[in-house]
Structure 1
Amino acid sequence: MPGSLFREGRVWLRCQFHAHTTNSDGDPLPAALCDHYADLGFDVLAITDHWHVTDVEHDRIVVIPSSELTADAPTAHDEAEVLALGVGVLPESLEPFPGIEALAAWIVARGGVPFLCHPYWSGLRAEDVLVAPSLAGIEIWNGGSEVMQGNGLSTTQWDDVLQQGRMVMGLATDDCHTPGEDSGHGWTWVRSRERSGAAVIEALRSGRFYASAGPKIRDVVIDETSVVVRSSPARSVRLRSGPWDGCAVNAELGMGNWRGEERERDADGLITVARFDLPEFWHWARVEVEDERGRRAWSNPFELPGELPARA
């Protein structure tokens, strides 16, 4: 729908939605983990211990009761993991769920928001997401997986799902186990009506957020002919849409632009506003911003307005 992608909500909150304590396989005590993320400037923390709800109050950061649960899946280790964000109870049985959809549906039924964890690291494919319609989205960036093994980025799996018509959302997280080593690498900015756990869960459910490993996406404005992106200084801003469609604007001389143009730069020559023509062939798009250090931020996918040609 035309308009600003972030027109709803009143406050931006920096959120960490995947982290562990001594209640599962993490190094820090719950209070220490809260202190750590508060010191890093986070507003919200979901402690996602494995099969354990760590519910703790903290005076500097909002803690959302959550957990990380397991389902049977056709992977190399026969399982997949899902974040049960905003669910303060555990299943009656501590056995893995019989499939990703059964687990995701259980989370939704209890008022939570389910996100599939680290698809690349887990060896999951688009088919594993498509058979689970209750999933709200997937982790497209898992900082811990990237630090350990270089497989934290799951945008290929994301685009495969989007291209098959499923508009799942994308989350960036740390999956922190050892604060100071695998923390501060990925987070999610949520556009919330207030600074509370309930409001954050509502915003997640509604898609009012974007994922980041560094840059900020300040606004995405869509009209009948174009998409305008405002961001923190970037060396590249892209409008992704399908495996061979999309647009790009690059700050570096000699790289060129494709179906887009820069509108504003900062004093260092980095892009802060870019405008794109609508993609030619597909009915959805997502924004990707890359800063001078190669770090990225990703908007959720959105439908494009107007009459576009039918898919090939």
Structure 2
Amino acid sequence: MKEYNGFKNCGSWYKGNIHSHTTVSDGMLTPEQSVKLYKENGYHFLCFSEHDIFTDYREQFNTENFIIVPAVESSVVLYRAKGTNERYKIHHLHGILGTQAMQDAAPLGTYKHMQYIPPMKFFGEWTGPKAAQEVADMLRDHGCVTTYNHPIWSRVTEEEFIYTEGVSSLEIYNFNTVQESNTGYDVTYWDRMLRMGRRINGFASDDNHNEGLFEDSCGGWICVQAPDLSHDSIVQNFIDGNYYSSSGPEIHDWGVRDGKVWIDTSAVNHVNFVCGNIINDGTTVLGERFKDTLSHAEYPLKGHETYVRVEAVDRYGRTAWTNPIYLEW
């Protein structure tokens, strides 16, 4: 069958967190403190995802080895009733400033630093899918790449967001909400979308607020492969899915060759090959129990898989995720 490369092999690896908060919204670290934290932990880029406030700190913080990717986390909130702060459901759609070409083509122009984007508010009931689409369209028209964040934490049902057009990636691992309430694992929704034919990437992030209740920084990230550390290179390769997500392990390379899916990783305990669309497609390759003994794994394709993605899991449960390869037979 056709040979597929999981990565473009187009440059170097750059580590980043594309979902974080500071004192500009409801985080406890200032932007300066957050930049210092991530630079000290080997990160190359960072998004400030302030709630309903677009920020652009590139001029203040960009250096040769570290850049800010401007962004905003836009909200749709369903409250129990007027006069209460009890939230039943939330859409959090993340608008990441797109490439220069996307900015130039934006019909509504780009957002400005510290621009407030009012959240949509509903009381008692909402038009969930319609509202999600309206926000996704708004972000696109302002030159942004759009992601959908933490659906399990948000208490939304799959029908309220999986049909939203224009969403590049789904947040499949959110370190903050994993620590807070074990509501940060969203791969089930990801596979639901992939199985129905939606081509969408996944990403891991921190969503850090640094409130001091638990650790929520430097626990979920993406590694983007790009020719250089510039805004357009990072964003375009994010759009293209030329990255992997992780809460620990590294993925060195992967692909499809001679009818087999293969992957090379840092030392891990087991590797999951997740496929659509027939029952019993995919497999788990197990290493030695309680030890990280695997660095290479393979899965012989059966001939009817529609997509394949791979998870590399170490003995502590920390995981690295590829984006999908869509297979043609």
Write out aligned runs for 1:191-202 (5 A).
191-202=225-236
Comparing 41-50 and 102-111, the one that deviates more:
102-111
1:245 deviates by 2.4
Q: Deviations over 1:38-62 (max 9, x none)?
A: 1111000011111112322323521
Write out aligned runs for 1:223-262 (5 A).
223-242=257-276, 244-252=280-288
2:169 to 132, 137, 144: 137
1:102 to 134, 144, 148: 134
Task: Tell me the residue number matched to 1:124.
Answer: 156
1:294 aligns with 2:294: no
Write out aligned runs for 1:181-196 (5 A).
181-196=215-230
Comparing 211-220 and 180-189, the one that deviates more:
180-189
Q: TM-score, normalised by structure 2?
A: 0.82
Number of residue pairs matched? Answer: 293
1:157 deviates by 1.1
Q: Are the equivalent residues in 2 in contact too, given 1:72–1:99 (CA < 8 A)?
A: no
SS of aligned partner of 1:231: strand
1:176 aligns with 2:176: no
Amino acid at match of 1:79: I
1:132 deviates by 0.5
Q: Are the equivalent residues in 2 in contact too, given 1:113–1:204 (CA < 8 A)?
A: no
Task: Tell me the residue number matched to 1:14.
Answer: 15
Write out aligned runs for 1:265-276 (5 A).
270-276=293-299
Task: Tell me the residue number matched to 1:262.
Answer: none
How many Å separate the matches in 2 of 1:142 and 1:74?
23
Task: Tell me the residue number matched to 2:182.
Answer: 150
Unaligned runs of 5+ in 2: 81-86, 99-109, 122-129
How many Å separate the matches in 2 of 1:2 and 1:108?
33
Write out aligned runs for 1:2-81 (5 A).
2-56=3-57, 57-58=60-61, 59=63, 61-71=66-76, 77-81=88-92
1:161 deviates by 1.2
Q: Deviations over 1:18-55 (max 9, x none)?
A: 11111100001111111111111100001111111232
How many Å separate the matches in 1 of 2:78 and 2:251?
34
Q: Are the equivalent residues in 1 in contact too, given 2:54–2:117 (CA < 8 A)?
A: no
SS of aligned partner of 1:77: strand
SS of aligned partner of 1:204: helix
Task: Tell me the residue number matched to 1:160.
Answer: 192
Amino acid at match of 1:26: G
Identity %: 26
Task: Tell me the residue number matched to 1:82.
Answer: 93
1:191 deviates by 1.0
Amino acid at match of 1:290: V
Q: TM-score, normalised by structure 1?
A: 0.86
